[in-house]
Chain A
Amino acid sequence: MHHILVTGASRGLGLSMVEHLLDQGNIVLGCSRGKSPFSHKNYHHFEADVSNEEQVNDLFIKIRKSFKYIDVLINNAGVARMNAFALTPFKNMRETIDVNYAGTFMCCQKAISLLRKSTNPRIINMSTVAVPMNLEGEAAYAASKSAVESLTRVLAKELSSFSITCNAIGPSPIATDLIRGVGEEKIARLVKQQAIPKMAQPEDVLNLIDFFVKPESHMITGQIIYLGGIS
């Protein structure tokens, strides 16, 4: 049984992660900007915006007080706004970077002292196939996730002395809220470019989480694993 913190836990992929990790008997701590519609005896929800430094500080103070340590941090909170580069408002770009990169950065930083108390500490970040595919219309999103990938590799080195592994998952298109605004035709075209030309399912991401979390994966760090055969 682990203490696992999932950011962006109230819907979509984050909620699937929460349910999956609870099914395994873990104590799951989730956070999102609002309340969660979900309840379970081993689920504890916190309201926090990961792009807000003060709220992230408060979140980790509360977790420390109630749970003492965490074994796994899953930085799932993210925003995606598809738009042509020439038409992307600066404000949207800034918000994308703030949530996807700065939020991940701050949560990783604040989690170190709680993770150090675990015997099997893990950080799992979320990237996307939009990074290696350099997708049109995703300049801000892909750049923010590219920064997450760099962060993942650097943390793998810096945190290895604390036995904390840091890896990232790059999902190919999955039908979640995040891609609701993307046209079906565009998604179909994307999926066709994959070695495995199929839409991914949340279970494909959950499988990778299980892989990174298991104790036998202690030698795996700094890795970005993409779904669908993208490289």
Chain B
Amino acid sequence: MNKPTQRQGLLIDASKKIKFTFDGREYEGVAGDTIASALAANDEWILSRSFKYHRPRGILTMAAQDANTLVQIGNEVSVFADRHPISEGLAVRAQNVSHSARKDRGFAMNRFSRFMPVGFYYRTFFKPKGIWERVWEPRIRAKAGLGKLDISKPTEGYYDKAYGWYDVVVVGAGPAGLAAAIAAADAGASVLIVDENPIIGGALSYARVKTERDLVHEAKVHPNIEIWTNATCNAWYADNWLPVIRGNRLYKLRAKQVILATGMIEQPSQFRNNDLPGIMQGSAAQRLMRLYGVKPGKRAIVLASNDDAYGVALDLLDAGVRLVAVCDLRRSDLRGPNRDELKERNVEILDGWCVWDAMPEFGHKHVQAVEVAELDASGNAGKIRLRFDCDLVCMSVGYVPAYQLPLQAGGKLEYDDVSARFTISGQDDAVLLAGSVDGFFDIDACIADGFAQGARAAANCGLSISNLPARPARSSVSPNHPRPIFPHPGGKDFVDFDEDLQVKDIKNAVADGYRELELVKRFSTVGMGPSQGRHAALATAMLVSKETGRTISEVGVTTARPPVTTEKIATLAGRKFTPMRRTPMHEHHCAEGASWLLAGNWMRPAFYGQGPDDKKIIADEVRNARNNVGMIDVSTLGGLDIRGPDATEFLNRMYTFAYAKLPVGKTRYLLMTNEAGTVIDDGVACRRGDQYFYVTATTTGVDRIYRNMLWWNAQWRLDVDIANVTAAYAGVNLAGPNARKVLTKLTDDIDVSAEQFPYLAYREGKVAGIPARVFRVGFIGELGYEIHVPSRYGAELWNAIREAGQEYGIKPFGLEAQRVMRLEKGHVIIGQDTDGMTTPEELDMSWAVANSKPFFIGKRSLQIRGKTLSNRKLVGFSLDRMPTSGLQESNLVVKNGQIAGFITSITCSPTLSKVIGLAYADRADANLGGRITLRSSDGSQHQAEVVAPHFYDPENKRQEM
């Protein structure tokens, strides 16, 4: 165990103790520890269990790149234990375990692995028919998945998003990234460095490298550089749009230039039991030691294929770890400063040897020994073997470039099988690569490339660079071994740790005919786990290339899609923006106990008051409007000012009716069809002047209609101005037999007598002292006035009408009552009583179509459609009473067992004391007195009589009084 007081690491403060629990057991860590480092300091190496076989898994990368370290904290699943800091009282649990990470009953699955070959899902569970749905799927779903999420709990924490803009965004704060940032910033660019680690420096912070300049300090103090640590650039999108996750905030960044200095991802070697706790990447061991002051083991073996491995070996020695041996996969090109230094430290170095088998402790809880083998001439494990007791195996056999972002930016990854080198090319012009991701492995070359690319990015931003430095030569020696894979006849030589896929699984996938990498991926699920193939893609490509006799470059890699790493749904959701609109009378509606409903994004009162029976409340509102006087807030109604010399012509083209002869001071119904002749909106045109119409549109349709108008007139070029003034006017519909009496009390300058202000007339004047546009309408079938005033005075208008109407028993009514009354009157609601095919003729509204006009939108289509009428017609229907099974909108109209139409509106009329409605029915059944069959949701059928849709006051005496 690492005693806290002895620990020294860049990220920790050993003087500050922190207690936390893992699977219910208490541990002590120190400030700055991650969960994984603190557990490792306590000699607790098992962090999780593998997906299929429940094998113990521990630290692999210490870089939040692998699924081994995923744990659950509270209701948050799949948290990287090697990234998440500990805090006092933090309760951490292992995922995907039966009991705990230490004692997982699911480990029994390890014995049955031979019964679960690659693709066994596809072959095993589909017979007999139906067994998948009934038996297997529920069981597999119960076993699958990482962590347990209680979806009844709200999301913890506050998540939101923000935009950001920079000249240059550098992804990766390693040596190349820092150099690039400094160079770009020196040239005057605004630079942002994004790095997922808690400190900048990348390999400088944990690896055995030395530099002349203190790049970390230079970047930190540079006035043009902003540094975001613990920040993940999770994708690259067109035009350098970068989503960067920083804490609970998702930043949406735009950069003129992006420099990807994402570095390399160290790769594991494949040998038997290569997944045991205690077997990790060399860089992981270095991170544990240098960043967290944790000794990763007592007796170590280093598996080497580059000089970095010898840096790991030296670091282990410096940390007091006994280095048992270094097995170098190479036999030539062995020189390197670290190797030279190690040679002087009296350590056994076996050149041309591999690790062949790792022996576990009881229960596979840790590595306790390895068998190493001398490589034969073909590079395979030979017969000469040695056994070493050890509790730590460090693998440093090569890297792949962190290619996800470069490939998302359009880059293409190439691999030279001979030199074992990757190249990336062809990415977006505004994306530069810098450092080891682009093949600059030597630290000096890596930094020099960073400076060169930073200067280039600044120049691309238009900044002045006097001497643009050339990129240095790429390193001559690759750190990658061409095939560090040593299949074992006993298997358990894992290629993909996430999915428990072994070497034979990949081979068998190819043998089954899946020769292409994308197919191997889908068949075997390799690369589909949380690590997204970071440590499996290259090994898989190597295996597929060998099995198919092609080069790795020919095999390629699978498509790199966003996101680069895990991201929370809460991060994507962020703070919800759901625009809602309120009328100026909203507070009055609240005071009167309104129940709300949404009309588009408007909040509208559905009805007023609370009670056990909503229908009774609505019926009372209807009765009061019919018998006394009611008022409804119609501020949501769309309003458009159409002005100019061509205003009349414009309306004539936009709408089906004719407006040239509409006198000033009169209104006329508006019906709009689209190019196909389908009804899409209606409203009223009020003629304010020769060249001025105030046009209403439906609440939910007005924005679309406004856009339509602008779009059409961009082509017609009529001399007309179109303004959407919906929000600028508040409106009240004052309706009922006593409406005139109420209005009379409120206006001095408008003569509201029937003679001077008849039905469909338009007047302007002051109502309650407020300048108003007033017009007589009959939507609900009663004497009615629509009064529109500037929004700022809407509340005052409402108050005034309410007060003036008191003596007549005025009551507000909501949208529900309005819908009932308009149905009683037989007025259609566009969108409810129409669909994507409805023509005016189907609605019996041909009277609103002026065919004599030379043009209106939809005219030609209507002429064509008029030659062959549809089979349906909107009809009124009635029933004496509502069936017990109920009938509702969208219930079908059936005829001879076929669908003939559907109900569009239905209500129990409080005025007529029967059920009335509108429905599309067979045209042949549209005659008055006919019968149609309505089908309830429970399948029962009911006969209804076809009647005129003008159920109430068919002679219009009440609305025209």
Task: Note whether A and B form a binding pair.
Answer: no
B residues near A (Cβ < 8 Å) are none
